[in-house]
Structure 1
């Protein structure tokens, strides 16, 4: 077991399969949901979005909300990520149904980043 941990997580790095399913909280310690996937820019290798599963009950009726990766901070005490958003802000954010994943175009990216008041990265 220790050998597996050493390969998939260090003090600075974590394997993508360990990120998926990780809880996301707001600063008020409310659980907003869990990360279902990480969207990575192909050329730079930089994580661009964490896709948050939010809403519904036991995963039924929940939607997926791409959140710019730079908004997340890992909290070792919580064993999850913290994002400075309220549940209401997440509810109003760009989202899609689990079975209707969008095409992550630059226009879509600008919509997501714009919602959060961030500049879309030009690579």
Structure 2
């Protein structure tokens, strides 16, 4: 078995989304897949509410990591949507239902989460903004979690 064997549940290093469900099929996924495959996936909260869809996946290009998934919620036909940057590590990919789950968040907590609109994006490289978003979702900032993996003993990978 290799580290990417789809028949075994992969532990999270704290930087990636968790995966649940039975991985099946040939080709890419669910451990390595095109980001565009995930656009439009529904997101459900711990109380079973559908709170929106994945609109974008934001990459930390210099660091080679996924920083955030952008959730689009509310609105009608794309008008008046509220966007929320959700730390990638807060999400769980449900391969059986082909959706994401936020097991630690309720629908009300998402409605009250810091958000923005399509014409007024925050500066996602601002560490103060990023830390506040990660704090809201009770996650360690991805740039800190990755540092521990990179600076740790390579035999632990």
TM-score > 0.5, shorter chain as reference: yes
Shift, 1:42, TM fit:
1.9
In structure 2, the residue matched to 1:97 is 117
TM-score using structure 1 length: 0.84
Query: Going by fraction, where is strand more abundant, 1 or 2?
Result: 1
TM-score using structure 2 length: 0.67
Does structure 2 conserve the Cα–Cα contact (< 8 Å) formed by 1:94 and 1:111? Answer: no
Does structure 2 conserve the Cα–Cα contact (< 8 Å) formed by 1:52 and 1:65? Answer: yes
What aligned pairs does 1:78-93 form with structure 2 within 5 A after superposition? Answer: 78-84=97-103, 85-93=105-113
The answer to whether 1:69 aligns with 2:88 is yes
Between the aligned partners of 1:27 and 1:92, the Cα distance in structure 2 is 15
SS at match of 1:34: strand
In structure 2, the residue matched to 1:119 is 140
Between the aligned partners of 1:93 and 1:78, the Cα distance in structure 2 is 25
In structure 2, the residue matched to 1:36 is 55
The answer to whether 1:45 aligns with 2:45 is no
**Count of matched residue pairs:** 117
Gapped runs of 5+ residues in structure 1? none
Between the aligned partners of 2:131 and 2:94, the Cα distance in structure 1 is 28
Structure 1 residues 114 and 76: CA distance shift in structure 2, 3 A = same
**CA RMSD, 1 decimal:** 1.7
Structure 1 residues 11 and 88: CA distance shift in structure 2, 3 A = closer
Does structure 1 conserve the Cα–Cα contact (< 8 Å) formed by 2:30 and 2:95? Answer: no
In structure 2, the residue matched to 1:106 is 127
Gapped runs of 5+ residues in structure 2? 1-25, 148-157
